[in-house]
Structure 1
Amino acid sequence: MKTIQLCNRSIDVLKAYQAPTGAFPAAPDYPPYNYVWLRDGTFIARALDLVGEREGAAAFYRFASRTIVAHGFKVERALAAAACGRPIDDGSCLHTRYTLSGEEGREPWGNFQLDGYGTFLWGLAAHLQAGGPWEDIYRRAVDLVVRYLTGLWQHPCLDCWEEYGDYRHPSTLAAIYGGLKAILPWLEDESRKTGFHDAGGEPEGEQNPGRMVLKVDDVLERLPELARSEFIRDGNWVKFAGQDAVDANLLWLGVPFGLCSLDDPVFTATVARIATELCSGGVKRYAADTYYGGGQWLLLTAWLAWYYRLRGEEAPARELLAWVEDRADNNGFLPEQVPENLTSEAHYHYWLERWGPIANPLLWSHAMYIISVRGMEV
């Protein structure tokens, strides 16, 4: 009964905080997170699609698409900067977060992140597969994002935790791979409709969907090989090259982005390390994490449960979901993390003084709980 109640409460929370624009604030009552992240928003929309709330999901994808198109001039800026070896800064990249009206944030932030844009493609494709119409605004946004990702996928950028921007990250590559692979059938359909099936002599961008298909095919062929050559060490995936730590975001490689199959021995060895080294009731991001002391994240705990459920291992999944359920407050809100099994007590108090209490509710936590309960397909 607790699962049904919290799942229903989570649906209500997501719907209640959706802005009239279609945007979802990451955490409505926590000022630093009162923005829209494409990554968070896409998983929220995916959760709504899974429970039949199609219009809420569609409203988010329309918002995200309008926002991408409005800032689409930055795609050429970023590609030009990369081609010339210049840094990709806030003025030349698509940002990772936007206001609820689709504007860029003005405070300093780590904005050059690619995983959110891959995640957007993955979620939009799932929405379309579930019956959502292929709207013109989607097509325009997809064209921009595909050009952006196929041009920059090898470029170092911040990871999904907005850290280590001088590195490439397997979780980011997984999101790019999963997004491009998921949206490819719609690109191929556009190519057939226009009659552009080759790369010869036609202009770039939306005028030549055939060229876009070829670029995507090229990335889908090359990316897995690069990832395996760079990020596998001693039989498991690592957080980034040059060290041997694992990160819970490595779950993305299998669930949902499919860079690895769920029974791939390197991936299963990696998940075993995550479960052993990062999970003590709930799941930490990574062992050296000090954000709010390095506590246990509800969305990652639900993510590991999702993996176990897809593998048919209901007992460990149920244990993890029960842990999440027990962390809901009296309002049925799920926070970002809880200060349990901290890595650094001093850093917990540092962040409390700097930004206040931990974000609660975090809409991504509610979304991942719904997905773990309801999402038996990736």
Structure 2
Amino acid sequence: MITSAPGLSELIPPQELAQLRALAQHSHAVITEHQDSGGAYPAAPTFSAYRGYAWLRDGSFTAEGISRYGDVASAERFHDWVDRVLRGRRAQVDELRAAVARGETPPVESMLPTRFTFDGQDGSDPWWDFQTDGYGMWLWAVVTHARRHGLDLERWRGGIDVAVDYLVAFWDRACYDWWEEHVEHRHVSTLGAIHAGLVAVGTPEGLEVAASIRSLVDAEGVVDGHLTKWLGSAAVDGSLPACVVPFGLVAPGTALAVGTLAAVARDLDADGGVHRFTADVFYGGGQWILLSALLGWNLAAAGDTAGALRHLRWIAEQADEQGDLPEQVPHHLLHPGSRDEWIARWGTVATPLLWSHGMYLILADELGIMTQRGNA
């Protein structure tokens, strides 16, 4: 864990540093308080559409923040939960692979879900469920956690093998993106997540797929020197920095990495808060805490401490009186006319969102804000 960053003491007054560390402590408390007894991290404990469900995508980043904080036990409970859930899907994945071997294309409805109930079952209400990114993210997260803390990866081998088999079979199939939209496209951030997971595990088949992903994105996912929202598009997306750090689809510091971060900052960053994409109408298209942290994480990794700190400070300013972080904030809406529609449908914006708190922990760690287990 990082305990200092060049020039940080000059950039942050002691009182502010104490406040930033206090938010890290609160973030840890929020995440662990709401962690299910079986290990799942709920996306948001009170939000109508998320309550009672856990996503591999949200949970993997949340577990990474918790792992960096030093709470090995909480992160392990999450990874144990995913491992149990995926072991329970072994027969389903084998049947899906057998269908492909027979020359069939399994319908979307038969694919693994993106979110699970806390006991590992499919949801009972309709959802945009076919998303492969979370399976790659979990592979990356569990391997990263094991390496950080010197743990035996064999503990989770059963679930790892299921996820690898699933991704090797279906990595190139169009599916919903991080935002659960556009099932007709192949999304670059999804491909980046799959790449990261398969490289982390390092099986021969997985590494071959990872090489194919790099070739495909180079050929169809780059326009004007930056990664694109999906293959064949020219748009950018706030999730694209993940393809640099932490997923490594694009090497940090390369022209493509620099161009991608610059394009996201140019099109989607407003005063430190990052939008998902320019056409976003969800709750009016606000600024997302987790995306601000993701861009800040990349800036910190590139050595831009001041730029990363700008995002951390912006995030801290969005905490409510209890210190809880929402999914998004409405200060700079892209499409304000659509906000009331979503409030009427699902209620006010999800608060707290555990993924937001997990990403705050990651960025705070990158900047050296946290000491071991978040203590000042």
Query: Taking structure 1 as the reference length, what is the TM-score of the superposition?
Result: 0.89
Instruction: Check whether the contact 2:143–2:153 (CA below 8 A) recurs between aligned residues.
Output: no
What's 2:75 paired with?
57
Residue 108 of structure 2 corresponds to residue 89 of structure 1:
yes
What's 1:248 paired with?
238
* Aligned partner letter, 1:235: G
> Closer, same or farther in 2 for the Cα pair 1:96/1:336, shift >3 Å?
same
CA distance in 1, matches of 2:295, 2:154: 36
Once the two structures are TM-superposed, the CA of residue 101 in structure 1 deviates from its matched residue by: 1.7
CA distance in 1, matches of 2:100, 2:339: 38
Residue 338 of structure 2 corresponds to residue 347 of structure 1:
yes
> Closer, same or farther in 2 for the Cα pair 1:137/1:103, shift >3 Å?
farther
Once the two structures are TM-superposed, the CA of residue 324 in structure 1 deviates from its matched residue by: 0.7
Once the two structures are TM-superposed, the CA of residue 183 in structure 1 deviates from its matched residue by: 1.5
Alignment match of 2:284 (pick from 266, 280, 293): 293
What's 1:203 paired with?
none
* 3-state SS of paired residue (2:263): helix
- Structural mapping, 1:109-124, within 5 Å: 109-124=127-142
Query: Can you list the C-alpha shifts for 1:62-103, whole angstroms capped at 9, x where unaligned?
Result: 00110111122221233344453434323x211110111211
Once the two structures are TM-superposed, the CA of residue 3 in structure 1 deviates from its matched residue by: 0.8
Alignment match of 1:327 (pick from 318, 337, 360): 318
* Aligned partner letter, 1:277: D
- Structural mapping, 1:113-262, within 5 Å: 113-131=131-149, 133-134=151-152, 138-184=156-202, 213-262=203-252
* 3-state SS of paired residue (1:145): helix
CA distance in 2, matches of 1:52, 1:270: 31
Query: Can you list the C-alpha shifts for 1:15-40, whole angstroms capped at 9, x where unaligned?
Result: 11111001110000112112100111
CA distance in 2, matches of 1:296, 1:255: 20
What's 1:201 paired with?
none
Instruction: Check whether the contact 1:239–1:245 (CA below 8 A) recurs between aligned residues.
Output: yes
Alignment match of 1:269 (pick from 249, 259, 273): 259
CA distance in 2, matches of 1:308, 1:345: 29
CA distance in 1, matches of 2:215, 2:175: 19
CA distance in 2, matches of 1:309, 1:326: 19
Query: Can you list the C-alpha shifts for 1:172-217, whole angstroms capped at 9, x where unaligned?
Result: 1110110111122xxxxxxxxxxxxxxxxxxxxxxxxxxxx32113
Greater alpha carbon shift after TM alignment, 115-124 vs 262-271:
262-271
* Aligned partner letter, 1:156: A
Of all paired residues, the percent bearing the same amino acid is: 38
> Closer, same or farther in 2 for the Cα pair 1:5/1:125, shift >3 Å?
same
Query: Can you list the C-alpha shifts for 1:336-365, whole angstroms capped at 9, x where unaligned?
Result: 000121122221010000000000000000
CA distance in 1, matches of 2:100, 2:239: 26
What's 1:309 paired with?
300
Q: How many residues align?
A: 348
What's 1:8 paired with?
25
* Aligned partner letter, 1:126: T
Instruction: Check whether the contact 2:191–2:213 (CA below 8 A) recurs between aligned residues.
Output: yes
- Structural mapping, 1:59-74, within 5 Å: 59-74=77-92
CA distance in 1, matches of 2:310, 2:153: 41
Instruction: Check whether the contact 2:89–2:162 (CA below 8 A) recurs between aligned residues.
Output: no
* Aligned partner letter, 2:345: R
Instruction: Check whether the contact 1:58–1:132 (CA below 8 A) recurs between aligned residues.
Output: no
CA distance in 2, matches of 1:85, 1:344: 41
Aligned CA-pair RMSD:
1.5
Query: Taking structure 2 as the reference length, what is the TM-score of the superposition?
Result: 0.89
* Aligned partner letter, 1:106: S
CA distance in 1, matches of 2:207, 2:296: 32
* 3-state SS of paired residue (2:130): coil
Instruction: Check whether the contact 2:146–2:153 (CA below 8 A) recurs between aligned residues.
Output: no
Once the two structures are TM-superposed, the CA of residue 149 in structure 1 deviates from its matched residue by: 0.5
Residue 45 of structure 2 corresponds to residue 28 of structure 1:
yes
* Aligned partner letter, 1:129: R
* 3-state SS of paired residue (2:234): coil
Greater alpha carbon shift after TM alignment, 134-143 vs 9-18:
134-143
